[in-house]
Every structure is written in structure tokens, then in C-alpha cells.
Amino acid sequence: MVSFKELGLVNTREMFKKAINGGYAIPAFNFNNMEQMQAIIKACAETKSPVILQVSSGARKYANQTLLRYMAQGAVEYAKELGWENPQIALHLDHGNSFELCKSCVDYGFSSVMIDGSALPYEENIELTKKVVEYAHRYDVTVEAELGVLAGVEDEVQAEESHYTKPEEVIDFATRTGCDSLAISIGTSHGAYKFTPEQCTVDPATGRLVPPPLAFDILDAIMEKLPGFPIVLHGSSSVPQEYVDIINTYGGKMPNAVGIPEDQLRKAAKSAVCKINIDSDSRLAFTAAVRKVLAENPGEFDPRKYCGPARDEMERLYKHKIIEVLGSDGKAE
Ligand code: G3H
Ligand code: 13P
Ligand code: ZN
């Protein structure tokens, strides 16, 4: 058993309280490798933004849970080395799908876990979430739950279509489970293809797809039922078209990739939405940079020569999200 406190990490409780009161959101960036972790920490250290480092069960399998934990511990030290005196870094399990997985993460030094019972019938979601909360809270680890289903792939949980969160269920769910935050479904979804072209309109000036707006009426109704309760948005990549264009120019094939417009996320960040999950945008930044370098330098075979520019591009992306979209810069001085 390792406590997250020994690793220099923090849970999400204070982070969320300050974010709701301050009208901004904490970035939750997924990481799977050293370059992503370096880029996240550099961006956060430079902007003094609190951050949630997220690990999916896929990332755990890919990178090894022990390595990821030591990377998170290393992230705290790296942040200090970069001159960030008071790093506010949480290590969070993204889309945990069983009590055993959540327990293992708590025991391994995670400061926050998500139990995603959103695909289960309502009462089973409550039962599972409650069990995770009871265990995690013994160690001061905070718990995110999910109510409502996002379309797309949620790691090992898949759904063909989304089912918006029902505002009439949230009080009962939050009270009976004791969860610390709630992920809701209001029109976001995972991955780089969040809407079909049929669901979008076309901007006549650019010819780009314009997605339908998020269901802010549902968010408002949820906030009315649970005033001041931390709300989480998954599937919040905006799928920057400049990355999609670079990928397509240099041998990729990502037609009709479309995400959530950043102005919608900025609006959400000013409300009780205090955690915004971004993974796909970082994948796009990485892939665009790697494709460009390799296409322009076909003889290159030193991974540092293409992973380096990919890391720089991700750092730019993270800073942009922190400053221009979430507003979390300067909130962890
Ligand atoms: O919600 C899904 C995250 O983007 C993690 O994706 O399961 O492929 O690591 P992954
Ligand atoms: P995106 O695929 O939109 O980046 O969402 C990531 C996410 O929700 C991780 O849990
Ligand atoms: Zn997610």
C-alpha cells in the first residue's frame, strides 16, 4: 500500500472547490508515455496550472502500472525542478470498470479514481460506485462516477449512442453513492469523430463541419439539482482542424474528424464543470508532428528527432487549452 501523499500528489477535492468558485476547469490530460508526461508537466509548470494526470486501463496495460506510478512521482519532482514550487498534480484512474481495478489503483498511490458504471442498470451503478467510494475514502482518495452514457468508445465500455444524463436522477445518485464528482452526458463523446456529417451543418465560408451545440439546458438542470457539486465532462477534445489537415497532407486519412468547439468548452468551464477530459487532441498533435517530420525527412530513424517535435507540439496544445479554454493558468502558484 502506497499513499498518494507520499508521492507528493494531491486528490481532487480542493482543486474542484477552487475551480467551481473561480469559474474555471482543471485539465485532465491522459498520458501513456514519457513525452506526453513531459509536455503536460512543462505546460502546467509554466502556466502554474493544477492538473489531473489520467491513466486509462489501456494505458496501464500499455505502459505498466508500476512505471506509470513512478512517472507520476517523477512528474512532481520534475515540476519542482522547472521552478513550480507548489505543484498541484493528481493521479487519476480514467474509466475504471471494476471495484478490483479501482482498489488496485488506490493501493498503488493514485489520488483519484473513476468508477464508470454508466453502462450498468441504475441500481447496479449505484451499488458499484458506493463500494468504490467506501474503499477509496478510507485513504482520502476521491472518486468520480458517471451517470448517462457517452457515445463512442469508453476504453472497454462501448456504446453506439449517447443517453443524456437525467437531471431527476442526480440527487439520488450523488447522495446514495457519496461520490466526489459526477461525469455527465450532454453531447460530448470520445475520440476524433464525435459527430457524423449528417449531425452537423456546414460552414459556407470554410466548408468545415459545424457540430450541434452541447445540451446546456441539461447541464443547467443538473446544476440546479446539485448546486456547487463538481461536474466532469469527458470526450472534450476539439479535434483541431490544423492537425487533421497536417495528418491528411502527410499520408494520413482522417476524413470528417470533428470535435467540440472550444467556445462551448470555455462556457462549460465557467460553470460547475470543473474537470475537462482531453486525450484525442494530444494524440492528434503527436501524430501530426510525427507524420510531418517523417514525410519531410524520409531518412530519419532517430526517434528523438520525431518524438521531440511531437512533444513540443503537445506542450503548445496543452498551454493553449489551459490558457484559452479552461482558464486554469495561475491557479496553482
Ligand atoms: O476515454 C478514453 C480515453 O481517451 C482513453 O483511451 O482507453 O484508448 O487509453 P484509451
Ligand atoms: P477525448 O477523446 O475527447 O479526448 O476524451 C477523452 C476522455 O474523455 C478521457 O476519459
Ligand atoms: Zn472519458
Q: Which ligand is nearest to the CA of 276?
A: 2
Per the domain annotation, does 331 fall within a domain? no
Are 11 and 21 within 8 A, CB to CB? no
In this prediction, residues 65-80 reach a mean pLDDT of 94
In the predicted model, is pLDDT for residue 156 greater than 70?
A: no
Per the domain annotation, does 205 fall within a domain? yes
Does 30 contact ligand 1 (Cβ within 6 A)?
yes
Q: Which residue owns the Cα nearest ligand 1 atom 6?
A: 155
Residue 254 CA, chain-centre distance (Å), reads 22
State the chain's mean pLDDT as an integer: 95
Annotate 250-310 with DSSP letters as a single string.
TT---TT-B---HHHHHHHHTTTEEEEEE-HHHHHHHHHHHHHHHHH-TT---HHHHHHHH
> Using 50, 70 and 90 to split pLDDT, how confident is the model at 153?
very low
Task: Give residues whose Cβ lies within 5 Å of ion ligand 3.
Answer: 234
Q: Which residue owns the Cα nearest ligand 2 atom 1?
A: 235
Per the domain annotation, does 93 fall within a domain? yes
Catalytic: which of 94, 116, 180, 279? 94
Per the domain annotation, does 207 fall within a domain? yes
Domain that holds residue 149: 4-326
Per the domain annotation, does 116 fall within a domain? yes
Does 33 contact ligand 1 (Cβ within 6 A)?
no
In this prediction, residues 119-139 reach a mean pLDDT of 98
φ, ψ at 102 (rounded to 5°):
-65, -45
Residue 94 annotated among the catalytic residues of the structure? yes
Does 111 contact ligand 2 (Cβ within 6 A)?
no
* 22 contacts: CB under 8 Å, gap ≥ 6: 331
> pLDDT tens for residues 299-314?
999 999 999 999 999 9
Q: State the pLDDT at residue 269.
A: 98
Does 281 contact ligand 1 (Cβ within 6 A)?
no
The CATH number given to whatever domain includes residue 51 is 3.20.20.70
Overall number of domains in the chain: 1
Per the domain annotation, does 214 fall within a domain? yes
Are 131 and 100 within 8 A, CB to CB? no
